[in-house]
Amino acid sequence: MDAVRVWTRLITAGLAVASFGSTHGQQLKAGDEPVLRVIQANGIKMRIAEQGSGPLVLLLHGWPESWYSWRYQIPALARAGYHVVAPDMRGFGGTDAPPAIEDYTIQKLTGDVVGLVDALGEKRAIVVGHDWGSTVAWFSLLLHPDRFSAIVAMSVPLRQRTSEPPTTLLRRTYGDRFFYQLYFQQPGLAEKELDGNPREFLSRVYASPSTPREPPVVTDPSASAGGWTVRLGKPTAPVPWLSQADLDYYVAEFQRAGFRGGLNYYRNFDRNWETTAQLADVQILVPALFLAGEKDLVIGGATKEQLAASMSKRVKDLRNVEIYPGTGHWVQQERADEVNKAVIAFLASLPPP
C-alpha cells in the first residue's frame, strides 16, 4: 500500500496521536504533522518528511527504518524553530532504490545528503543521524566539511580506520558462527528471508532489551543453522515505544520497498574501506553531540568516558556524550523526550547560522 495512504489511514483512524509528539502519547495540535513530498536530489527521487522553518536540520535514519523513525523529533524540533527534513534514505520507503550494489557506496549516500541541502536551497545544514544514518552523517562531514555546521550522532560513534577490510576482520572474529553483517554479504539470501515476512522480523528486531521474549527457535550459533529471525525470540509483551500502528507503518513500507536497498549498504563495507583511506586522519571540527542507549550492542558496553576518549582525537569539538540507562538501539524512539531535550539544547548552543 502506498505510504501516503497508510499515513492518511492512520490519521483517519485516530491512531496518529500515539505516534507523533514530543512526548509519548501527547496529542498534537491540528496541522502539527510533517508534510511528505518527493524531491530530486543527487540524481534520484527522495521522499522527505518536512516541517517547520529556520536553520535546516536533516534527520538521517538507519536500518531497517524510515523517515518515520524520527516521528517524535520532527514536530519537537520544528516547534523549537528549525526547518526539519527527514528523508527516506536511498533504497528505503518512498525513495528510489537503484539496482546495483555499488549504487550504495558511502560516496553515493553522502552525495544524497549534499543533494538534499542543494535541493532545499541551502548552503549548509545541521546533520543528525542514527545507526547507518550516523555513519552517513560522519562521512558527510569528512567528505563535504563545508556543507555542514554541526552533527548529532546516535548509536554509531566515529571509529578509527581498521588495518584490514572490515569483512576480513569479521570473518576472522566470527569464523563459521552467525553474524548478521556477514549474513547480509551474499546478495539475495537475506532478502529472501526478510522480504518473506517483514512483520515477524521487524517485531523482533525492534524489541527493547527489557521486552520479554519466547526462547529463540534456533540456538545453534553456526551460520549454517539458519537466518536471523529464528535467532530472535518473539516478544510476548508490547514494546512501550512501538504501537501497533507504528509497526503497521514500518511493515507496509518494507512490504512495498523490500529490504534489498538497505542490505546493499552493508555490501559496500570493503568498497568503502578501499576508497576512503585518505580520510583516516581527517578531523571533524564542527560542534558534535553523541547519544546512545546503555544496552545498545553497537557501543559494546562502552562508557561515556570511553566513547568520548575514543572520538576525541578526530572529533575536536565534542560537546557531550549522553548514555541513557536501560535503553537499547532505537534510542530516539525509546527515549524520545530525553533525546529531544538533548538535541534542542545542543542546537540552541550553536552560533547563529
Q: What's the pLDDT score for residue 33?
A: 86
Q: What's the pLDDT score for residue 125?
A: 98
Q: What's the pLDDT score for residue 85?
A: 98
The yes-or-no answer on residue 88 being catalytic is no
Nearest to 95 by CA among 65, 138, 124, 125: 65
Point out the catalytic residue in the list 61, 83, 130, 329.
329
Q: What's the pLDDT score for residue 22?
A: 33
| Residue 259 domain flag | yes
| Residue 81 domain flag | yes
Q: Is the pTM of this model over 0.85?
A: yes
Three-state helix/strand/coil letters over the chain = CCHHHHHHHHHHCCCHHHCCCCCCCCCCCCCCCCEEEEEEECCEEEEEEEECCCCEEEEECCCCCCHHHHCCHHHHHHHCCCEEEEECCCCCCCCCCCCCHHHHCHHHHHHHHHHHHHHCCCCCEEEEEECHHHHHHHHHHHHCHHHEEEEEEECCCCCCCCCCCHHHHHHHHHCCECCHHHHCCCCCHHHHHHHHCHHHHHHHHCCCCCCCECCCCCCCCEHHHCCCHHHCCCECCCCCCCCHHHHHHHHHHHHHHCCHHHHHHHCCHHHHHHHCHHHCCCCECCCEEEEEECCCHHHCCCCHHHHHHHHHCCECCEEEEEEECCCCCCHHHHCHHHHHHHHHHHHHCCCCC
The yes-or-no answer on residue 131 being catalytic is yes
Point out the catalytic residue in the list 96, 112, 131, 246.
131
CATH value at residue 253: 3.40.50.1820
Task: Report the 10 Å Cβ neighbour count for 200.
Answer: 16
| Residue 314 domain flag | yes
In a structure prediction context, what are the per-residue pLDDT tens digits for the chain, which is 353 residues long?
333 333 333 332 223 322 333 333 333 344 578 999 999 999 999 999 999 999 999 999 999 999 999 999 999 999 999 999 999 999 999 999 999 999 999 999 999 999 999 999 999 999 999 999 999 999 999 999 999 999 999 999 999 999 999 999 999 999 999 999 999 999 999 999 999 999 999 999 999 999 999 999 999 999 999 999 999 999 999 999 999 999 999 999 999 999 999 999 999 999 999 999 999 999 999 999 999 999 999 999 999 999 999 999 999 999 999 999 999 999 999 999 999 999 999 999 999 87
Task: Report the 10 Å Cβ neighbour count for 273.
Answer: 18
| Residue 141 domain flag | yes
| Residue 148 domain flag | yes
Q: What's the pLDDT score for residue 31?
A: 54
| Residue 353 domain flag | no
| Residue 323 domain flag | yes
Give how many domains the chain has, as a whole number: 1
Nearest to 109 by CA among 137, 131, 151, 83: 137
Q: Which domain covers residue 270, as residue numbers?
A: 3-348
Q: What's the pLDDT score for residue 30?
A: 40
Report the length, in residues, of the chain.
353
| Residue 343 domain flag | yes
H or E element at residue 339: helix 336-348
Q: What's the pLDDT score for residue 14?
A: 27
